Structure 1
Amino acid sequence: MLVELKVNGKTKKVDIEPEEYLVDTLRKVGNLSVKRGCDTGCCGLCSIWINKKPTLSCATLTMRALNKEITTIEGLEKEAEEFAKILVAQGAEQCGFCSPGFIMTVLAMKNELENPTEEDIKHYLTGNLCRCTGYMGQLRAIKTYMGVK
């Protein structure tokens, strides 16, 4: 079935199956930052925004995203680059496989939380897995980015 999606401010027409997940649809239209990881909603690799709220695209049917604003990291290049520079400066960047989903979650957190505690940050990031780091560098980077001491 042919549907229209609003992805990063642009309308995309795409042929989908009724039971197709958004992760697959987004990759089909060229948003390759959105990755398939666990398929259980536990790793965060597929994190995107729907109507500016972080959403796991591997657990969301494409049909549920119709008439909604979908944002991937490709639509937030400036913000993502700003945080990525801080990640690198803190020595927190490793292989980069989890980075797009992780960065989408951090950018959403900055929009939603004001002056979060370290526990608030950890709670918000639950479900974003990284196999390369011990998370301490990432935590330092997030605190720097959000101006938390």
Structure 2
Amino acid sequence: MKALLQRVSQARVDVAGECVGAIAGGLLVLVGVEPQDTPASADKLLHKLLNYRVFNDAAGKMNLSLKDVAGGLLLVSQFTLAADTKSGLRPGFSTAATPALGAELFDYLLAQARHQHATVACGQFGADMQVHLINDGPVTFLLQT
């Protein structure tokens, strides 16, 4: 799995002009599923998302995790993260999971996140989404499992 993690002061996802998920401060995470991914991949990714130290402590160093700051987690499926961009000028998507596997693992990740963390929101799998965010820092990391 690939995840583009962004520390945000706020973020929301709209579908057809209506907000389907929103958080105040926390992490917006775009999630790409690849064919070899499993529930174990999702578990590993979630552990990193909840514990990755990207929030500043009192000294201004990135020493605090999402759990430490009790921030929000907004998960958004994004199959284009799994695209093959190594050659040419057009991305290839044979490296992305099938929609069925993508939905299954994204739903699993979401369910586990809701079980382990207090504030979790999400986009709508497969929908045409508009993602609005205020990136805090900016702080952005690409995580892979």
Instruction: Normalising by structure 2, report the TM-score.
Output: 0.24
Q: Which has the higher contact order (CA 8 A, sep 6+)?
A: 2
Q: Which has the higher helix share?
A: 1
Instruction: Normalising by structure 1, report the TM-score.
Output: 0.23
